[in-house]
Structure 1
C-alpha cells in the first residue's frame, strides 16, 4: 500500500508541474490534456495492478505459455530499434516533422528524463522482480526507454507515414512483451514503464518551442547515422561533399 501511495504522489507531482507549465498558455493551440490521457491511463493501470492477484495470475499464465526455461537477450537489442528507425528513415529521405538535429535533441532529452524518472521510481518503490533477482522491478526500464524513443518516431512521422510512425510503438511493445516472457517484470511494471516513456516524450514535444536552437538548420548536406559495434550503440555525423 505504501508503495502505491508513493508512486501516486510522484505521478501527481509530475502532473502538477505540467499543469503549471501549461497554464502559462505560451502556446494555447496545443492541448496537453488530450496528449496525456493514454500515458497517464497506462501508468494508472500499472499502479492499480501492481501486487494484485490478477497480476500474479497473468505472470503464471505467461510463464506457462512461453515455458519456464524461456530466456532471450533479444530485448536488450530491440529496445534500440526505434532509434535506428528514426535515423534510417532520415537517410531514406522520408519527410519528418523536424530537422535531424531537433530530432536528436528531443530524443536525447526524452530518454534522459525518462531514465531519471524511471531510476527514481525504482529506488523509491523497491518492487521485487518475478524472478527474485532484485527489487528494481517497477517500472520497467527497458520498456520506458523504448517507448520514449518510440514516441519520438511517432511524433516525427505521424503526418507523413502512419506505418513508420507506429513502428516505434511496435518495437517498444515487443520489448515489453519480452521482458514479461523473460520473467524480469510484472505486467504492471511494463504498463507503467510504457506510460512513463510516452508521457515524458509528449511533454518534451509539447514544450520544444522553449529550447529551439539548431546550428545545422542550413546544413542540409549533413545527417546523423546510427552505429552499432561490439555491443555499443552510437551516432556519427555524415556529410555529403
Structure 2
C-alpha cells in the first residue's frame, strides 16, 4: 500500500515541475477590470505528456490484465489493512486549490489573470472536465469497488481536484513553485482518499487526474485565442470594464470599453 501512495504522491512532483513560467501582467486592482489582452499559454508541449500518460494508463486498465490486477491488489490490501476506513473529507479537499487562488487574490497576491478572466478560465476547465468525465462514466459502465453503482471510471472528484490544482499552478507558479505543490498536494490527497474509501479503483483516480490536468491546460490554451481577438485592439493597452447592474428588480452586467 505504501508503494501505491508513493506513486500517487509522485504525481505532485511530475506535474508541478512541468509548469513553465509565463510573463506576469499587472492589471488594475479593480476586480471588475477587463484588460484588452491576456498572455497566451507558454506551457511546453512536454507538459501535456504526464496527464496524457495518466489517461492512457487508465484506459489500458480495461484491456491489460496486469494493470487491472493492480486495481485488485490495491483493493485487497485496503480491505486487509483498513477495513473500516470511512473519511470523506475529500468532498471538501477537492475545492481547496480554488479557494486558495481566490483567497490569495483577496489577500493582495495577484495571479496571472484578472478576476473575470480567471473565473472564465476556471469555468471552461470545469466544463471540459465535467463533460469528458461524466460522459465516460456512462460509456464505460465500470462497477465501483463498493458496488454502489457503475460510474466508477474515471474519478470525478479526482478530476475536479487536479483541474483545480492545475488552475492554481497556472495562476501562481510563476511566483513560486510551492503554490503549485500546495495545490497538487490537496489533489493527491483527494485521489488517495477516493481509493481508501473504496469509491474508486486505482486506475480510476489516475485517469481522473489526467483528465483534470489536461482540461485546465486546454482552457488556458484555448481561451486567450478568442478572448484577445474580441478585446484587443491595435496592440495598445486599452481597458474594458464589466460591472454588475441592478434596475427595476433586474440584475445584470454592464460592459464598457475605452475607445
Contact map agreement 2:94 2:161 (CA 8 A) in 1: yes
Matched, 1:148 2:163: yes
Matched, 1:62 2:74: no
Distance 2:164 2:49 in 1: 19
1:29-48, aligned counterparts within 5 Å? 30=42, 33-48=45-60
Q: Say which structure, 1 or 2, has more relative contact order (CA 8 Å, 6+ apart).
A: 2
* Structure 2 unaligned spans of 5+: 1-38, 232-238, 244-259
1:1-241, aligned counterparts within 5 Å? 30=42, 33-50=45-62, 52-65=68-81, 67-212=82-227
Taking structure 1 as the reference length, the TM-score comes to: 0.73
- How far the C-alpha of 1:32 sits from its partner, in A, is 5.8
- How far the C-alpha of 1:48 sits from its partner, in A, is 2.4
Flag the 1:43–1:168 CA change in 2: closer, same or farther, 3 A: same
Tell me the C-alpha RMSD between the 2 structures: 2.4
Q: Secondary structure at the match of 2:102?
A: helix
Distance 1:143 1:208 in 2: 23
Listed one character per residue, the Cα deviations across residues 84-137 of structure 1 (whole Å, up to 9, x for unaligned) are 011011112223111121111101110121011111000100000001111000
Distance 2:219 2:49 in 1: 16
Contact map agreement 1:63 1:183 (CA 8 A) in 2: no
Structure 1 runs (4+) greater than 6 angstroms displaced: none
Distance 2:119 2:40 in 1: 25
* Structure 1 unaligned spans of 5+: 1-26, 223-241
Contact map agreement 1:35 1:202 (CA 8 A) in 2: no
Listed one character per residue, the Cα deviations across residues 11-49 of structure 1 (whole Å, up to 9, x for unaligned) are xxxxxxxxxxxxxxxx99946632310100111112223
Taking structure 2 as the reference length, the TM-score comes to: 0.68
Distance 1:28 1:155 in 2: 12
Distance 2:151 2:90 in 1: 17
Listed one character per residue, the Cα deviations across residues 161-180 of structure 1 (whole Å, up to 9, x for unaligned) are 22112211111111111000
Q: Secondary structure at the match of 1:207?
A: helix
Higher normalized helix content (fraction of residues): 1
